[in-house]
Structure 1
């Protein structure tokens, strides 16, 4: 019986994975992301849950995960950014999938992802590249770096794309 190869300890763990993934991305500073957004790139706030409905009342509940959209931190969102739940992101951006968002029309589209700190967005951007969206990337430092740089934020509700 053959045994699986053992990954050396220094190459294990979430941070090791993150470093390997980021080596394949052309990550952007918040200022670079704003310039690319102005030139037509699509900014996307990726979160594991946008909101969830309370089963008893149907009310919308802040799950505390929407750092860039006025939930969880009290901060605003990035004007013009779309909010797409991380769990459905690949399907919403696949130009060949029937449940894609209207903006997902080209495999060469430039998608710039962000989350609160820039961890989940790096993994998501790498995943999109693996499926053929070769220009996907993310913002170094995420929404917090964007806000700290003094770039435009909005208190308006996010353009959520479930």
Structure 2
């Protein structure tokens, strides 16, 4: 299987959101999770209220049964909206969360770049992310 086929198959099982739809979901209690790596956040900024969890820690931080979970990872019924830079890695990440039992996980079409282009709120680089759950906290 090629990556394009894997991505198509992953997206077939997701109810992907537009940036405006993701903002509405966040306002309605959905957990927006920014999986971009630090260099991209430092370059482009962050989204107010988004939980920052780099991709390599996502499953540990979002699994409600894990000792290393983020405080926001309260149940398998949590509505998780994953956001990467352009909307590719987030699709694969959302499917991984489905495998953990987070069946409401989805992602944002076009990722952070589409969010910003839509004129949605972005904190300037260096302003920080209130919900950051950075690396180095004992995750295996």
TM-score by length of 1: 0.77
Q: Deviations over 1:13-32 (max 9, x none)?
A: 11111001000000000000
CA distance in 1, matches of 2:51, 2:72: 10
Would you identify which runs of 4 or more consecutive aligned residues in structure 1 move more than 2 Å?
A: none
Q: Which residue of 2 aligns with 1:41?
A: 30
* Pairwise CA distance, 1:75: 2.2
Q: Which residue of 2 aligns with 1:78?
A: 47
Q: Which residue of 2 aligns with 1:16?
A: 5
* Pairwise CA distance, 1:99: 1.1
* Pairwise CA distance, 1:76: 2.1
Count of residues paired in the alignment:
131
1:94-113 matches, cutoff 5 A: 94-113=63-82
1:1-162 matches, cutoff 5 A: 12-47=1-36, 49-50=37-38, 64=39, 66=40, 69=41, 71=42, 74-155=43-124, 156-158=127-129, 159-162=131-134
Q: Deviations over 1:60-92 (max 9, x none)?
A: xxxx3x2xx2x2xx3221111011011111111
- CA RMSD, 1 decimal: 1.1
Q: Which residue of 2 aligns with 1:6?
A: none
SS of aligned partner of 1:33: helix
Larger RCO of the pair (alpha carbons < 8 Å, separation 6+): 2
Return the structure number with greater strand share. Answer: 1
CA distance in 2, matches of 1:35, 1:137: 14
Segments of 5+ residues of structure 2 without an aligned counterpart are: 135-140
Q: Which has the larger radius of gyration?
A: 1
